[in-house]
């Protein structure tokens, strides 16, 4: 009888352990486009088949607003963040909202791509430049100032920093540079530039010919061009702004083990090569960028101290909304 009960208990325990393993989950908040995240999570599932991922996807600003509301309610839900805003991630780190992960596999990543206290990690490089419709524009733009040309009046669209993390960095950076400043955006507004909810809306408007020019993140334009859309992407002579789409674990994460596995995955060669397939510049050293990009050393990146951008974040958004509307 004892042997029989021992066998029953063993079977019950094995079943319980199997259920426990199958129940491991991860709550991910991200701003990466939904179609790309499906491919990302499909690959992650192959690497970590025992983890079920629950995802919330929206623009960076809306992701941060949702997170802020959860913090205020004392009930943050996310385990991991993957967002297009290094400034927002740095702010969370300063507030003690992120968990340090000193064992993260960063050996092949430049040190400026991740937090020195190992609380967030850049996963790729995304630049913002100019997209234009090749059927509507006779003289391709070369400079940011070309968006102020007479032929561009009423024909420019850009993403709003009220929604896009990349736009927060872009607007914040240009307004801090003396050759641009807020006067540059005032002129754009005076010329009838349209503010869109996000980068996807910018691409859609330019590709359809509703607008001739746009400020846009690189991979969206390059992917659209590769699929036959009548668009071209320009790296302006003054330089492009850039983000690193960092990943981080929340200090309040409930599924820490799964969260660490997702960070490990994002920093793996497999994920970095997938990023290249999705037309991103990889953050990992030793992996070639997408063929559509010019040599990396020829891309000039303009930047401003992230601490300045973080300090002026709310002011930047308010001034932009005053000029272009919410």
pLDDT score at 256: 98
The mean per-residue pLDDT over the stretch 65-72 comes to: 96
d(C-alpha 122, C-alpha 306), whole Å: 14
pLDDT score at 23: 60
Residues 199-211: pLDDT tens digits? 999 999 999 999 9
Residues 237-279: pLDDT tens digits? 999 999 889 999 999 999 999 999 999 999 999 999 999 999 8
Q: What is the CATH number of the domain that holds 215?
A: 3.40.190.10
CA distances from 175 to 142, 187, 250, 261, 286 (A): 19, 12, 31, 38, 34
Residues 295-323: pLDDT tens digits? 777 889 998 888 888 889 899 999 999 99
Count the domains in the chain.
2
CA 205 to chain centre: 21
pLDDT score at 22: 53
Same domain, 254 and 212: no
Number of residues that this document lists for the chain: 326
Same domain, 160 and 307: yes
Among 194, 208, 190, CA closest to 136: 208
Residues 95-141: pLDDT tens digits? 999 999 999 999 999 998 999 999 999 999 999 999 999 999 999 99
Pairing of strands 231-234, 124-133: antiparallel
What per-residue string of b and e applies to 72-86 under the rule 16 or more CB within 10 Å gives b?
eeeebebbbbbbbbb
Burial class (CB in 10 A: 0-12, 13-18, 19+), 112: exposed
Same domain, 195 and 277: no
d(C-alpha 291, C-alpha 222), whole Å: 10
Residues 15-36: pLDDT tens digits? 444 444 556 899 999 999 999 9
Same domain, 275 and 307: no
Same domain, 103 and 154: no
Same domain, 138 and 259: no
Q: Which domain, by its residues, includes 315?
A: 125-242+299-324
Q: Where does 147-198 have alpha helices with state H?
A: 165-176, 181-190
Same domain, 315 and 196: yes
Reply yes or no on whether the pLDDT at 49 is more than 90: yes
d(C-alpha 61, C-alpha 199), whole Å: 13
pLDDT score at 117: 96
Query: How many C-beta atoms lie closer than 10 Å to residue 33's C-beta?
Result: 16
d(C-alpha 81, C-alpha 309), whole Å: 20
Same domain, 27 and 111: yes
Same domain, 116 and 130: no
DSSP E strands: which ranges in the chain?
25-30, 52-57, 80-82, 98-99, 121-122, 124-133, 156-159, 194-196, 213-217, 231-234, 241-243, 246-250, 281-282
Same domain, 312 and 186: yes
Same domain, 103 and 14: yes
Same domain, 169 and 249: no
245: region left, alpha or beta (phi > 0 left; psi from -120 to 50 alpha)? left
């Amino acid at each position: 009888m004892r042997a029989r009960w021992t066998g029953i208990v063993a079977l019950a325990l094995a079943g319980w352990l199997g259920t426990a393993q199958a129940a491991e989950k991860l709550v991910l908040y991200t701003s990466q486009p939904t179609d790309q995240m499906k491919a990302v999570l499909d690959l992650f599932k192959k690497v970590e088949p025992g983890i079920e991922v629950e995802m919330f996807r929206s623009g960076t600003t809306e992701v941060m607003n949702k997170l802020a509301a959860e913090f205020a309610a004392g009930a943050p839900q996310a385990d991991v963040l993957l967002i297009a805003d290094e400034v927002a991630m740095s702010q969370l780190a300063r507030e003690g909202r992120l968990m340090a992960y000193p064992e993260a596999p960063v050996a092949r990543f430049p040190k400026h791509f991740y937090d020195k206290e190992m609380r967030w990690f850049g996963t790729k490089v995304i630049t913002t430049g100019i997209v234009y419709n090749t059927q509507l524009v006779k003289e391709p733009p070369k400079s940011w100032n070309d968006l102020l040309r007479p032929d561009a009046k009423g024909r420019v669209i850009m993403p709003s920093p009220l929604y896009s993390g990349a736009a927060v960095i872009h607007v914040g950076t240009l307004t801090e540079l003396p050759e641009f400043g807020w006067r540059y955006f005032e002129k754009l507004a005076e010329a009838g530039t349209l503010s869109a909810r996000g980068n996807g809306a910018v691409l859609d408007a330019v590709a359809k010919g509703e607008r001739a020019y746009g400020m846009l993140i690189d991979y969206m334009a390059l992917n659209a061009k590769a699929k036959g859309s009548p668009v071209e992407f320009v790296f302006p002579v003054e330089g492009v702004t850039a983000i690193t789409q960092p990943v981080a674990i929340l200090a309040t994460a409930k599924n820490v083990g799964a969260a660490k596995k997702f960070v490990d995955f994002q920093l793996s060669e497999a994920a970095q090569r997938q990023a290249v397939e999705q037309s991103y510049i990889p953050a990992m050293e030793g992996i070639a960028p997408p063929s559509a990009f010019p040599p990396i050393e020829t891309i000039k990146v303009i930047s401003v101290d992230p601490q300045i951008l973080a300090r002026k974040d709310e002011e930047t958004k308010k001034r932009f909304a005053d000029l272009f509307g919410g």
